[in-house]
Chain A
Amino acid sequence: MADVKPLVEVRGLAKHYERRGNPFVRRRGASDVVRAVDGVDLTIRRGEGVGLVGESGCGKTTTGRLLLNLIEPTGGQIVYDGEDLSTMNTTQVKEFRKRAQLVFQNPFDALNPRFTLYRSLVEPLANAGVPEDEHETRILRALERVHLRDAERLLDKFPHQVSGGQLQRIVLARALVLDPEFIVADEPVSMLDVSVRAGILNVLREAKQDLGLTAVYISHDLALVRYVCERTVVMYLGRVMEDGPTEDVVERPAHPYTKALVAAVPTPDPQQEHVALPILPGRPDATAVPSGCPFRDRCPEAHARCAEEVPAAHEIAPGHVVHCHLFES
């Protein structure tokens, strides 16, 4: 694997927001800076499916938007296929926007409610300057990928006239219509019912396989990430805690936070054990990130060093990295 050049290389990525909130609402010990993403290193190889997981507010969406160059980082660097995103010129940015696509969590955010579904699908093609005589074939091909039944009948409709599952397929088709090589899907099924969700997950899996897509899936649902991603990255308060093959991360979680996260997921098995969660009470607050390891105030294994030093990346198996002092060799 080492000889394959990565598609995306992220070093020390940070995004901090200034907070202009109501001072009376401010929590004790909080600062004015929201550390949404706080020093993320990430390497994404071509054709890889990477799941970004972690609790609400840990920086998943922000990371996704940074990867797509939709917002500007406060620090660090993203190199996409050899080009630094921050130094791309307008032509390069335009090209990048074709190659990299976002799939929204809420289909209603992705589609203009006053456009027919057809118009929503044509729009990216027109914007990208794809010749008009190619539009129809491109759209039909994308619709086939997402297995939208009755597509012809549906395309004249408006978003509110079709079901959530159909809409999410259109949103996916819209992301695929430009034949991207990289997609970031932010909670692509969280708004959908279980029975419909399965279909979309299968489409995602297939699209990735058939098109050789490189994909980042953002989700707080580990079971879903396990289903579609061969690699899983666990985030906590803007940092990566663990990064490794999904199988290893789920079956043999190493980081104390990953252990708690995996243990917390209920399964459809009525006989599952009820074990105490290995985590201390509290909640992550991006305006008051602890010194050293950001997880240390909830970590059952925290020791003196954890407050003093940010843990380095320790590779515990090939491609499996843990940011925790316990793994100092």
Chain B
Amino acid sequence: MLLETNDLTIGYRTASGALRAVEGVNLAIPEGEIVGLVGESGCGKTTLARSLIGVMAGNASIERGEIRFQGRDLVSSGARYWKDRRWRDIAYIPQSAMNSLDPVYRVGDQLLEVLIRRGGMDRAKAKRRAAELFELVGIEANRLRDFPHEFSGGMRQRAAIALALALDPKLVIADEPVTALDVIVQRQILDTLDDLQKRLGISVLLVTHDISVVAYVCDRVAVMYAGKLVEEGSVDTVLGSPVHPYSMGLMNAFPDLGRASRTLVPIEGAPPDLHDPPAGCRFAPRCPFVVDACSEPPAIESVDETHRAACWRIGEAEALRKDASEVTTWQT
């Protein structure tokens, strides 16, 4: 495993008390694969993604758990070691990367800065590399002299990818890289990521709330709900035969251009307030399949060798899937 988290738990201190945005998460990112991280807004995707590079909000802290990169735990290895991995081994493309380029510097200069300062290259070499990186992500090298405002949204996103790839990382974490983009641009960016992943053999953690994006480019997918990992496995299995009721709900709620006639099935209710989550399964208040056991939190368990989920009724998944496709099932 290239990267693996163990029982990772991250809290925020807020004016209205402590909040756990990520709790007991075991996420695995294999070498050379694209892993999707999905879940609705506020479920902890960005918190988890940012923790992997050790750059978190000032009021955030890792309460417990490990982040193992190539076998070594980053949390206990010290800030210095972690910082050295950043850019070089693990690169991060922030959510709204499109707006994260500094508006007063030319895009190329921002790239050179990383290559020279972080990568220790001399100027001539850094310039060659910058041009190469631009070609790699599909922008003409003569646009390196442009300012960010001269780029379209899609080009800015490409520039952010180029920046992330600058020092040949093994893992790229992309937080909602296509969310604000039009479908055609979105598609071009996804194709670029996919192509780069194959050519460079890197791993990618792709944070998104769009299941179609996962289906289009990811090999594996992890589904989060209210701070917890609820299901994880190959894209084929999780999207094709989900075993967690929340994953089933997501699939049935999603409009599919290929299947127009199907009625969309809403998941009634809203996710819990993370200041005060339910004691048992966090999905229980919205789950149509809740049983007595659900008042205790279910542990994440293996469904088979490559597929895990946290639900007391994993064994009955096939029958539940059938019921989950009916609108009335969720209207209790």
Contact = CB atoms under 8 A, between A and B. Distances in A.
Interface of A: 25, 27, 55-56, 149, 163, 165-166, 193-199, 201-202, 220-224, 226-227, 246-247, 250, 260-262, 264-272, 274, 277, 279, 283
A236 to B, nearest CB: 11
A227 B266 contact: no
Interface of B: 40-41, 149-150, 152-154, 182-188, 190-191, 194, 209-213, 215-216, 235-236, 239-240, 249-258, 260, 263-268, 270, 327
A199 B260 contact: no
Contacts, number: 125
Nearest to A265: B257
In the A-B complex, the 4 residue pairs with the closest CB atoms: A199-B266, A195-B267, A198-B264, A266-B216
B258 A269 contact: yes
A260 B185 CA distance: 11
A267 B257 contact: yes
Contacts of B190: 266
A31 B248 CA distance: 51
Contact of A279 (B184, B212, B216, B327): B184
Contacts of A166: 270
Q: Which of A55, A149, A199, A272 has the most CB atoms of chain B within a 10 A radius of its CB?
A: A199
A270 B215 contact: yes
B83 to A, nearest CB: 34
Contacts of A264: 183-184, 186-187
Contacts of A250: 257, 260
A305 B37 CA distance: 48
User: Which DSSP category, helix, strand, loop or mixed, fits chain B's interface?
Assistant: helix
Which of B210, B216, B249 counts the most chain A CB atoms within 10 A?
Answer: B216
B209 A268 contact: no
Contacts of B191: 274
A26 B153 CA distance: 16
A91 to B, nearest CB: 42
A325 B2 CA distance: 53
Nearest to A277: B187
Nearest to A149: B268
A195 B40 contact: yes
Contact of B254 (A56, A149, A194, A246): A194
A226 B212 contact: no
A55 to B, nearest CB: 4
Contacts of B265: 198
A267 B40 contact: no
Contact of B152 (A226, A247, A283): A283
Interface centre among B150, B239, B268 (most CB of A within 10 A): B268
B257 A270 contact: no
A272 B184 contact: no
B255 A221 contact: yes
Nearest to A203: B266
21 contacts: A25-B149, A149-B268, A163-B270, A194-B211, A195-B250, A196-B266, A197-B266, A198-B252, A202-B264, A260-B184, A261-B184, A264-B187, A265-B183, A266-B210, A266-B215, A269-B239, A270-B239, A272-B215, A272-B258, A274-B191, A274-B194
